[in-house]
Structure 1
Amino acid sequence: MSKEKYYALLKEKFQNKENVVTEIINLEAILHLPKGTEHFVSDVHGEFAAFDHVLRNGSGSVKEKLVECFADTSVDIDDLATLIYYPEEKMQLEKARMTQAEREQWYGEKIQLLIQAINFSSRKYTRSKVRKALPKRFSYIIEELLTESQKEPGKEGYFHAIIDKIIQLHQATALIKDLCYLIQRFVVDHLHVVGDIYDRGPAPDFIMERLIQHHSVDIQWGNHDIVWMAAMAGSPIAIMNLLRICARYGNLDIVEERYGINVRPLVEYSKKHYVADAKFAPKLAPDEDELTETEKEYLNVVQQATTILQFKLEGQLIDRRPDFRMNDRHMLKNIHYETQEITLKGKTYPLVNFQAPTVNPQNPCALTTEEERLLKKLMLSFQASERLRRHTDFLIEKGSMYLCYNGNLLLHGCIPLHENGDFKSFRINQKQYAGKELLDFFEKQVRKSYKDYSVSDDLATDLLWYLWTGECSSLFGKNAMTTFERYYIEDKKIHKEEKNAYYYLRNEEHICQDILALFDLPITGHIINGHTPVKAKKGESPIKANGRLLVIDGGFAKSYQQETGLAGYTLLSNSYGLQLVAHQPFSSVDEAVESGTDILSTKRLVERVDTRTTVGSTNTGQKLKQEMTALETLYQNYEKC
């Protein structure tokens, strides 16, 4: 856009010089407000109930605000916090305990307390921002209550008359619900999701719906998210991997029932060619084992069928992409079919549990005619899912490989490094990429593949699979993914996946500072990672490199919790500094409401700033300053524009 056109549009918005002056003054004032609270979560892996609870309580931020707001009073903080987290469920519980008169008194008391809490939690925002956040159906009423809650002489009767009339007209429960969600919104200004929304847990689609409704969010793609995006972008390998993982964790209903994708042809194909094997029994949490034996059997054979199809397709990709340097992962080609053995890294291992009835030993990666038809049907069904497209569109819109935000670097996995700390390069089409350039290259390819999802074997789409399993992938960060070995070879030594040097070098402060500098960030900033569960049970700390790097994957996924001893780390950044929060496993909404239990475990202060951080020093502040510069130019040249 030309400067002339830009200023002409600005002039349309600000129709006189006085309006320009007003906006400049408004923006200048905003720059001096305390910055809003940022909330960081990672690796939620489909565990919607726990994720939703963490969002509702702001990792303890809501309760902290209530403690400050009602200091030196007799207000039951735990009871009020429970109402704010789960207003519908809490009101239903209280309604059953009370008479009509008691309910009306309870409504009146709670509305007054919630109005106080809203006034307190919204202090750092402008009136304009508060007004825009108000729910439409009660915006006028809430604004009046907020204005008159200061108990000015002569106004108390007016304030209580509004509340009494709300109760009389049976609108109290609806108003209380809106007030509670308004507090949640004001307590946390912005949400960062540092990867891995999908896989393992039972409800990633619910998490996506929650994020789409969130007032302010960004996402850094995780390796599991990339697989679902790749499936929609046209990668048949990603579809096989996705279906394999869903079958492995007993979650095929996510694909079939909630995304409306027809997997019946796959089930029939699997039952036709495979028999159930104990090695492929679905991995179910003890409290979630509600499947029938028939369901477990078809999940078993589907897992086997998709595994072999995945390796066939992967072998084809390895052949057409020599630049990926994955020939040692050409598993079906390395098998000695007569003896049922495989040679890997110069050593031969016997295969166990290996069924491959559709593999031709002379051309092991070739698909049968039946399999080609099956893959076409599945691809069409995936790409026709409106709900899945809506969710992956949102991942593209709000997501990225990394994010530089308020002096911090957010990325799910790693920056691939050599053992000496140099950036590890990935060579493709006779060009090398490393460090920031590598992540920028990957992001460009993700967006390119997603834009043209009719092609399934172009370089961009193949690179989505490389991001899942490649040695130089910033989302994977290991030398190889040993899926084949863990399924079919008993020797556990070969199951091990060697991590990239980044994962031990990130303990060194100078390494983290070099990475921050590469992204033009201050060396006093932080790298915020997910991806690798912190084994707190074994004494591992999520705070590394003298506080320069923070790992916030503590294990939302139930399958990790026995190993980690926790149910997730989250991070809070407000105008006073950084706090790391550890969570205990979440049981249920019913328990949270009835007993007021929370899953917050401990908070650890990571960093406290000497001077309270203002909006002016944030990413938002930089944008506001740019707007002010443009408005000042407009003001000085208003008559000429």
Structure 2
Amino acid sequence: MADLQTRYLERLAELYPTVAAASTEVINLEAILNLPKGTEHFLTDIHGEAEAFSHVLKNGSGAVRRKVNDVFGNTLCREDKRSLATLIYYPREKMAQILEHTANKEDWYKITLYRLIEVSKRSGSKYTRSKVRKALPPEFAYVIEELMTEKADIRDKESYYTAIIATIIRVGRAEEFIRALCELIQRLVVDHLHILGDIYDRGPGPHLIMDKLMQYHSLDIQWGNHDVLWMGAAAGQRGCIANVIRICARYGNLDILEDGYGINLLPLATFALETYGDDPCICFALKGSHPCSPGEKELNLRMHKAISIIQFKVEGQLIKEYPEFGLERRLLLHRINYENGTIVLDGRRLPMKDMHFPTVDHADPYRLSPEEESIMERLEKAFLNCEKLQQHMRFLLAKGSLYKVYNQNLLYHGCVPLCEDGSLKETSVYGKRYKGRGLYDVLESYIRRGFMAEDETERKRGRDIMWYIWLGENSPLFGKDKMATFERYFLEDEESHKEKKNPYYRMLENEKTVDMILGEFGLGGEESHIINGHVPVKSKNGENPVKCGGKVLVIDGGFSRAYQKETGIAGYTLIYNSYGLILAAHEPFESRAAAIEQESDIYSEDIVVKRTASRKLVGDTDTGQQLKEKIADLEQLLKAYRDGRIAERFGRR
């Protein structure tokens, strides 16, 4: 052990070769521990709503607006502060609008630059100068750093700073400089972003959201069931591929696949027209309103039905292949009476709304027709060979996980499966039984194997478990007894549409259960919380996102437009800054154009969930713990230098 420690210190000495270097680093790290903790921003269930997501990212769920208020208080009127905030969100577009109606542009540049510099100072005040410097845009880094470090009470440099501003305007760089400051403020108001799942499906822009996330400075992602579905599709899993296409068709978003990812759907379209050309496809209407021509709408209906029937067949094959998944009751095609148009479900005979199934062999209903098999082969290759999709999925793998413990908070998308008595529910995964944290860990390991395993059997198991995670009763990302897709399409009977939630959801007010879950993941005490999404909080019905006295925060409030009628709002987001936890309830986002033209920021009602007795410092965080460990290691190195066990290494000057 002593030899191992010595070897470690020798490696550390390569980074800090002298007493002076190691001492300086200890001083720096100790100072950082006493800075205020950075702001964390939590979002969940974005569901492809790229414009609303982009706006919330730009305004930091009100963090920018709070900075503007902190800086200017009552010295600026409400309209000027609102205009300044909008400029920070959309500098290029807002500036063009303002300057079009501004007679004295030079005065506007000067006033705006001074205001933005003040907001930049406040936004960067909790960081080290080194960290701020790394966030600066390279072309203006030196000038911005000079202006941000200006002291209001130092007159000696007043003319120096004034000259900088004047020169920026004189050489025609004011607009670029203003854009750079606005983007810097956006960058500084949030230190770290948490995405708690479901980037994909329903909305039209998940690929745009992924592009933006790939450029974000610091984030983690807890996968949602819709994300894992797309991951499975990218890995070539047929059940996932069929579900992805069906959902895109259902919400009128096939453009995501064709234009966003370049996946060719022409074979499916051709097959759908040939097979269902005379079928009104009444059960397969689009959800929401979509401006499209009658011809496009008719094609979408037929493609929607074609891929749905393929999905039910492919899933039937998977259910038969994996009896341990416990999904036998979801084998439905063979339960249809094709003569009298009924189906037997749970002992009840129910009438079907649609009985036109030209590709279903009554003797072998789960077998794909030759044409369907050909389509799935081509789609499988298209998903596997789509470079942009693969790039996005690699990013999800690199930044994502099924759960995360971060600064005493437990983050996950769905639920921890529980039994009716509140105990952890055991689930079989390929012959072994797991529960709680162990279930999360093994499922995540199989997801990664679905992409990385060299052994083809393990790789296939990984691919297929992603489909199970999407809809399995005991999946922590689904948490319901069934996914009633078939029933919602084909049966009028609303009782058959119901999906019973896991007991987890009715036990979120039970402190004993919540403490047990936190303990399972190594957490406990007043500082620990569960933060998750997945099931929208129906605010209009009086449901509260803050549960169990503040120990649980369910922050899915309907970011997706498809859910907003049910929830009554447009989602919750959460801010955790050095003063405490702030929950923001958002009104629906009208549009980017309205935000710029009318300065209509997303109205948010802030709910203070918890205010800390004393301001949280970096030393109170996970990062702080890592820094303390590094300080301890450096102090051991200093002792080794002074004891003569390790020699200083003075390089040439």
| The two structures share one fold, judged by TM-score above 0.5 | yes
Structural RMSD (CA): 1.7
Q: Corresponding residue for 1:88?
A: 92
1:179 aligns with 2:174: no
CA distance in 2, matches of 1:230, 1:478: 20
Contact kept in structure 2, 1:83 and 1:91, CA below 8 Å: yes
1:606 alignment counterpart: 609
Q: 1:442 to 1:172 in 2, by over 3 A?
A: same
Equivalenced residues, count: 636
SS in 1 for 2:537: coil
Moved over 3 A (4+): 1-9, 452-457, 638-641
State the TM-score, normalizing by the size of structure 2: 0.95
| CA shift digits 1:211-254 (9 cap, x unpaired) | 11111111110011111100111201101000000000010011
How far apart are residue 430 of structure 1 and its match? 3.4
Q: What is the Cα deviation at residue 63 of structure 1? A: 0.9
Tell me the equivalent position of 1:50: 52
What residue number does 2:376 align with? 375
Letter in 1 for 2:525: I
In structure 1, the partner of 2:20 is 18
The residue identity in structure 2 corresponding to 1:241 is N
- Partner SS for 1:458: helix
Whole-angstrom distance in 2 between the partners of 1:11 and 1:415: 45
Which residue type is aligned with residue 82 of structure 1? T
Question: Is this contact kept in 1: 2:62–2:604, CA < 8 A?
Answer: no
Residue 98 of structure 1 corresponds to 102
Match of 1:68 in 2: 70
2:434 is the alignment partner of 1:433? yes
The residue number in structure 2 matching 1:331 is: 332
Contact map agreement 1:517 1:523 (CA 8 A) in 2: no
Structure 2 Cα separation of the partners of residues 5 and 384 of structure 1: 46
Counterpart selection for 1:30 from 29, 32, 47: 32
Equivalent pair of 2:60/2:189 in contact (CA under 8 Å) = yes
Residue 587 of structure 1 pairs with residue 590 of structure 2: yes
Give the aligned partner of residue 651 of structure 2: none
Per the TM alignment, residue 335 of structure 1 is displaced from its structure 2 partner at its CA by 2.0
Which residue of structure 1 aligns with residue 123 of structure 2? 121
Once structures 1 and 2 are overlaid, which stretch shifts more, 364-373 or 392-401? 364-373
Instruction: Check the 8 A contact 2:283/2:353 in 1, yes or no.
Output: no
Q: Percent identity?
A: 48
Match of residue 508 from structure 1: 510
Query: Structure 1 residues 448, 151: CA separation in 2 closer, same or farther (over 3 Å shift)?
Result: same
Q: Aligned partners of 2:162, 2:387: CA distance in 1, in Å?
A: 48
Once the 2 structures are TM-superposed, how far is the Cα of residue 586 of structure 1 from its aligned partner?
Answer: 0.6
Q: 1:477, CA displacement in angstroms?
A: 0.3
Letter in structure 1 aligned against 2:414: G
Q: Where do 5+ consecutive residues of structure 1 fail to align?
A: none
Alpha carbons 1:58, 1:188 under 8 Å: kept: yes
Structure 2, unpaired ranges of 5+: 647-653
Match of 1:269 in 2: 271
Partner of 1:137: 139
Q: CA deviation at 1:340?
A: 2.6
Question: Quick check: 1:116–1:149 contact (8 Å CA) kept in 2?
Answer: no
Partner of 2:157: 155
**Does the CA-based 8 Å contact 1:236-1:456 persist in structure 2?**
no
Contact 1:235 1:457 in 2 (8 A): no
Matched with 2:445 is 444
Q: Which of 338-347 and 430-439 deviates more?
A: 338-347
Q: CA deviation at 1:601?
A: 2.6
Q: Which amino acid aligns with 1:22?
A: T
**Aligned-partner SS, 2:292:** coil
**SS of 1:158 mapped into structure 2:** helix
Partner residue in 1 for 2:400:
399
1-structure distance, mates of 2:265, 2:645: 64
Aligned to 1:170: 172
Instruction: Say which is worse superposed, 339-348 or 561-570, in terms of deviation.
Output: 339-348
- Aligned ranges 1:611-622 → 2 under 5 Å: 611-622=614-625
- Residues 309-388 of structure 1 mapped to structure 2, 5 A cutoff: 309-388=310-389
Cα distance in 2 for residues equivalent to 1:585 and 1:456: 44
Is the alpha carbon distance of 1:438 and 1:559 closer, same or farther for their aligned partners in structure 2, counting shifts above 3 Å?
same
Opposite residue 195 of structure 2, the aligned amino acid is V
Return closer, same or farther for 1:117/1:346 CA change in 2, 3 Å cut-off. Answer: same
1:65 is displaced (CA, Å) by 1.2
Of 569, 575, 579, the residue aligned with 1:576 is: 579
| Structure 2 match to 1:633 | 636
The aligned runs of 1:209-608 (5 Å cut-off) are 209-274=211-276, 275-285=279-289, 289-452=290-453, 458-524=460-526, 525-608=528-611
Q: Which moved more, 1:456-465 or 1:380-389?
A: 456-465
- The aligned residue for residue 649 of structure 2 is none
Distance 1:5 1:310, change over 3 A: farther
Paired amino acid for 2:370:
T
- CA distance in structure 2 between the aligned counterparts of 1:16 and 1:415, rounded to whole angstroms: 50
C-alpha distance in 2 between matches for 1:127 and 1:140: 12
